[in-house]
Amino acid sequence: MSQTLPVGTILRERYEIIGLVGQGGMGAVYQADDLRLRGRICAVKEILPELISAPGMESPTHDQFYREASTLARLDQPNLPKVSDYFAQDGREYLVMDFVPGQDLRQLLEAARRRDTFLDERTVLSWAAQLCEALSYLHTQEPPVLHRDIKPSNIKLTPRGLIKLVDFGLVKLLQPDESRTVTVVQGRGTVAYTPLEQYGGDTGHTDVRSDLYSLGATLYHLLTGQPPADAKQRFLRPGSLIPPRDLNPRVSPRVERALLAAMAQHPDDRPASVEAFRQILFAEETPDPAAHSTPLQATQELTWRAALLSHRALLVIVLLLTLVAVLVTIWSPELPLESGSALTGFHGWCLVSAGRSVHACSSCPSLSNESHPAIKVTTPATQTRPSACHCVDPGSQPVA
């Protein structure tokens, strides 16, 4: 491994190295202070040409680096760090990008594992939506741009909640007029997230579906807490990939289907594009009426549902008592009154008060003021004529 730049080194009379961010087989990433724009902190990606080019190919590799770097400098998308400069110095190539603050997703995974819990699916899907935006942007450039090293440690979450896909160390430009392309910053990716076709470097054909495999493997790791079986192991031992829901039952079936589709061994079995993958990942299995209501309406509906569920036993009792009362009223027998007592009760269409007066219907010919002078009988003006009337007179049999 090559020697890293010491703190205080000034590159291109502008970028002062203030710390080492990370180091790999292809070079290192430094945090640097922009001496021209005081207060601006940037990330400087160092690339070692001797590690990525064959003997005698240094000049073509250098030219390819500048073509790729100029393409990256034109990229402008919220989920990608902005490449602001590129140059060569002392036999090394450098990319200058925005320095992205915050934790990477590998650190968040480790924190969740220490708590013996899983990352929330809704949170992971919100990150996935932003990653899809970044990849869709890269893949629709002319020529298309592949990242080729998507993994949790190359994804950062800023303090403001924005996802950034960092480290363009393995970026590859797809040339439509070539059967395969040369990538200046060639690498193998990280085993657990690398599709089978990428194992051969540039001897194999990679395209946008290769990035989809890496994205699916990354989301698998975020949701299950463990990296998936690598592509070579899966080729030698079919069935070695454990379904996500076997590791985390809280992963929804829809998400599991999307991840397994993206991680298919053969590129032809994967979604053809980021958009196709996004439609599988975020497809609605059943319509949710609450999704079309305002937040206040949704909250009120949930409150009423909770209240009804918590008091369902009481509601059942009230309904049963009401039903019993109705049945008793309908089927109760007529009871004779004692002689000399006041007319009380409700019989048929005759409403009898507790005093010495009664409200009788107009179809009750036997009950009137003339036939019962001791009882004042009044007939409502709006009384509807019934088909039958059964009125009880004190001390006698029913009349009418």
Let me know: does 115 contact 271? Beta carbons within 8 Å: no
Of the candidates 197, 203, 199, which has an alpha carbon nearest to the alpha carbon of residue 182? 203
Of the candidates 150, 259, 188, 173, which has an alpha carbon nearest to the alpha carbon of residue 197? 188
Hey, is 74 helix, strand or coil? helix
Beta-carbon contacts of 64 under 8 Å, excluding residues fewer than 6 positions away, are 182, 183, 184
How many beta carbons lie within 10 A of that of residue 302, not counting itself?
A: 11
CA pair distance 51, 26, nearest whole angstrom:
6
For the question of residue 288 being annotated catalytic, the response is: no
CA pair distance 193, 210, nearest whole angstrom:
10
The helix (H) or strand (E) run that includes residue 28 is: strand 27-34
Choosing from 33, 34, 149, 167, which is the catalytic residue? 149
Beta-carbon contacts of 362 under 8 Å, excluding residues fewer than 6 positions away, are 379, 383, 385
Q: Which residues are catalytic?
A: 149
